[in-house]
Every structure is written in structure tokens, then in C-alpha cells.
Structure 1
Amino acid sequence: MSKREIKQQAKEQSLCEAWNASHPVGTVVSILRDNGNTTQTRTVSEAQVLNGHTAMVWLEGISGCYALKRVTAIE
């Protein structure tokens, strides 16, 4: 793994840790879908780094996972 990849993975892990510290599993969120629409759902997992390069979270009623950059917690 290159230094750049290690740095990117550490950055994404930090994003996950920050998310998990303030958003428990079950948090209600809005997600930006691929078609530009938003959908309200809730998290069903903690955030985690997918394949060493993307901070992501699994969501209720959504097939697959979404990158944290497209997920907004609804307070």
C-alpha cells in the first residue's frame, strides 16, 4: 500500500470515528440518491471504511451502502 493510500485510509477512518461518536446505529438520516433526490431513512450499522478508501454506512430499506459524504443526520 502506498503512502497516499495509507493517508486516505486514515482520513476515511477518522470520518467514521467522528460519525460513530455522535450518531449511534438507528440515527434518522437523509441521503442524496444517485438520481439527485433525497430519501429519509435510518442507519443500521456503524460507519466503516469500505475497501480501504470510502467511509460508508448501511441504511434501512436501501440496497447496498452509501458514502458518508452523501448522508446527513436529521437532528
Structure 2
Amino acid sequence: MERTWDLKVFGYINLMRRVFKGMEKQGGGVIVNVIGVAGERPNSNYVAGGAGNAALMAVTRALGARSIENGVRVVG
């Protein structure tokens, strides 16, 4: 599960941080996160991935709510 989260969750978060800063400096932009439905429709055979998707959905929504004031939209 750790390896899955390192790539899936923290990979997205680290990339979003870098891209967000650049977009903020240029005055705006849009970050589109492509996230699987397992975050909303849990599957017992895909627990780590589903939990990772749910975490990414939460991060995307939280950053999206905060980012509007910076001219950056975050959707997923």
C-alpha cells in the first residue's frame, strides 16, 4: 500500500505543488487531475488504489476551493 500511495497520491501532490506555483506566477491556469472512480465506489479487490483515489479527490477539492483566489483552478 505504501508504494501505491507514494506514486499515486504523493506523486500527484508533489506535481500539483510545482505546477501550481508556476501557474500562480503566470497569473492563472487549470490543473486537471484524472482520478479513477474507485475513490467513490470502493472495491474490496482494490483497497489501496481506491483509498488513494479518495485521498486525491479530497486534495483536489481542497486545493480547488483555495486556489480560485490565485487565478488557478484545480479540478478532477
TM-score w.r.t. structure 2 length?
0.34
Identify which of structures 1 and 2 has the higher relative contact order when contacts are C-alpha pairs closer than 8 Å and 6+ apart. Answer: 2
Q: Whose radius of gyration is greater, 1 or 2?
A: 2
Bigger strand fraction: 1
TM-score w.r.t. structure 1 length?
0.35
